[in-house]
């Protein structure tokens, strides 16, 4: 029980909250899918692939981009979902005031110090992102840029291995498929 309500209620409230906060957001991919689809995908990967039944973690997975990408505050998450959910969200939240290359470097550097809950979200998030980048490439992203993203995702996940074998296996499978697709798309240089 979190805040006196059952687990399903917390997850449904988190989904409703995230859907509202991200209502005008779309994924960068050519399909421009609603952003909430990514959040549902991350929670689904955790639950159905990773066997994660920790309701705090599933709620945090659904909310993991709200502080980073919307006007949501940590205090608001604490008030609505409790300190545990908020602390996991904050642990995976990047400081958007920093340049993108610095944020990416810091994710690699800090990955090994993540709690298990945050590490699980990070693996599922990277899996979802890499799958999306390959299946529906962001407009204007070259093969090299997409390959660099996959390599960076691997750097992050390599620092948190040993957290969940099934999630790591799925991540590796998605990366392998990504490289195969990117290699086919790459123009001949010879």
Give per-residue pLDDT as tens, 19-42: 999 998 878 877 778 899 999 999
Q: Which of 24, 65, 68, 101 is catalytic?
A: 68
| pTM tops 0.95, yes or no | no
Percentage, residues of the chain above pLDDT 70: 95
Q: Is the pLDDT of residue 123 over 90?
A: yes
Give per-residue pLDDT as tens, 3-18: 345 788 999 999 999 9
Q: Could you confirm whether 79 is annotated as catalytic?
A: no
Q: Is the pLDDT of residue 43 over 70?
A: yes
pLDDT band at 187 (very low <50, low <70, confident <90, very high): low
Q: What is the mean pLDDT of residues 54-76?
A: 96
Percentage, residues of the chain above pLDDT 90: 82
Q: What are phi and psi of 188, to 5 degrees?
A: -65, 130
Residue ranges of the domains in the chain? Answer: 7-185
Q: Could you confirm whether 69 is annotated as catalytic?
A: yes
- CATH T-level assignment (fold) for domain 7-185: Hypothetical protein af1432 (1.10.3210)
Whole-number pLDDT of residue 7: 81
Whole-number pLDDT of residue 165: 97
Q: Which of 24, 44, 69, 172 is catalytic?
A: 69
Q: Any idea of the CA torsion for 94, 99, 101, 103, to the nearest 10 degrees? A: -10
* 25-34, long-range: CB < 8 A, 24+ apart: 25/69, 27/132, 27/136, 28/138, 28/139, 28/141, 29/132, 29/133, 29/135, 29/136, 29/137, 29/138, 29/139, 30/136, 30/137, 30/138, 30/139, 31/136, 33/136
Whole-number pLDDT of residue 1: 37
Paired strand residues for 5? 2
């Amino acid at each position: 029980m979190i805040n006196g309500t059952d687990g399903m209620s917390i997850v449904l409230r988190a989904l409703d909250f995230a859907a509202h906060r991200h209502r005008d957001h779309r994924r960068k991919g050519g399909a421009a899918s609603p952003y909430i689809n990514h959040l549902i995908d991350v929670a689904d990967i955790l639950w159905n692939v990773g066997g994660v039944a920790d309701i705090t973690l599933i709620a945090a997975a659904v909310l993991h981009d709200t502080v980073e990408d919307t006007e949501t505050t940590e205090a608001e998450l604490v008030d609505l979902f409790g300190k545990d959910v908020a602390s996991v969200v904050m642990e995976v939240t990047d400081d958007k005031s920093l340049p993108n290359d610095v944020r990416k470097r810091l994710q690699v550097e800090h990955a090994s110090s993540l709690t298990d809950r945050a590490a699980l979200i990070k693996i599922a998030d990277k899996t979802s992102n890499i799958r999306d980048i390959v299946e529906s490439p962001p407009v204007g992203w070259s093969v090299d840029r997409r390959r660099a993203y996959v390599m960076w995702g691997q750097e992050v996940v390599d620092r948190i291995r040993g957290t969940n074998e099934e999630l790591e296996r799925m991540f590796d499978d998605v990366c392998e498929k990504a490289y195969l697709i990117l290699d086919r798309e790459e123009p001949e240089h010879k």
